[in-house]
Amino acid sequence: MARIDSNPQIVRLPDVAIPKKQVVRRLGYPSEDEINGDAYQIFAEELDRAPSLLESVGVYCLLEVASKNENRMTFHDSDFIIQSKQVVKLLRDSDPVVLFMVTIGSGLEDEVSLLFQKDDMARGFILDAIGSETADAAADRMHHQILKRLSEERRFSITPRFSPGYGDWPVTVQKDFLKTCGGASIGITVNDSFLMTPRKSVSAVLGWVKRC
């Protein structure tokens, strides 16, 4: 395989739609029809204004595998190391490996904080749920559309994704992940507790598998 470009690539995601059904479920309702009265009025209003608070963007990089065993994977031209039996198992047939990060920006969560400061708890919880589900939708778009299309152009298929902090992959990898993936280029930071800011952000790894 020809050497790949491992430099981080920024992807604008202006058309990520708010996944209304998932927001409804996150709020604890079986369906939108079950939201009544004032709650529905607030829900409808926050859905209408949320798009103006979103600035969805992602970044990804491709890493060529240098070595691997059942617990550890290293990469050419990178200090990034994966130390996780579960992640290595997921990526066992993959080369390259893809790191990506997405965020919906800080505008929505700033507004949520302001609502909570005003004790407008119902509106704040609804807007927060919209943000969480839209961040996941942005990750889905990056994974299943952007990166899938790029992989298919090169005759690869893609694996499921895996995020730091799940299973046996510690969240302490987040700072190295941010540096390698170029997350700062889209406004993401990682604090000393290894949490991302903006909070409505997602980081994940997946693999490209060569088609026979």
Q: Does domain 9-210 have CATH number 3.40.109.40?
A: yes
Spatial CA neighbour of 135 closest among 176, 106, 169, 93 = 106
Q: Report the pLDDT value the prediction gives residue 1, as an integer from 0 to 100.
A: 47
Q: Report the pLDDT value the prediction gives residue 139, as an integer from 0 to 100.
A: 98
Q: Report the pLDDT value the prediction gives residue 140, as an integer from 0 to 100.
A: 97
Q: Is the dihedral of CA 61, 67, 71, 77 positive or negative?
A: negative
Q: Report the pLDDT value the prediction gives residue 14, as an integer from 0 to 100.
A: 86
> Is 108:127 a contact under the CB 8 Å cutoff?
yes
Q: Report the pLDDT value the prediction gives residue 3, as an integer from 0 to 100.
A: 57
Mean pLDDT computed over 19-32 = 95
At 5, is the pLDDT very low, low, confident or very high (cuts 50, 70, 90)?
confident
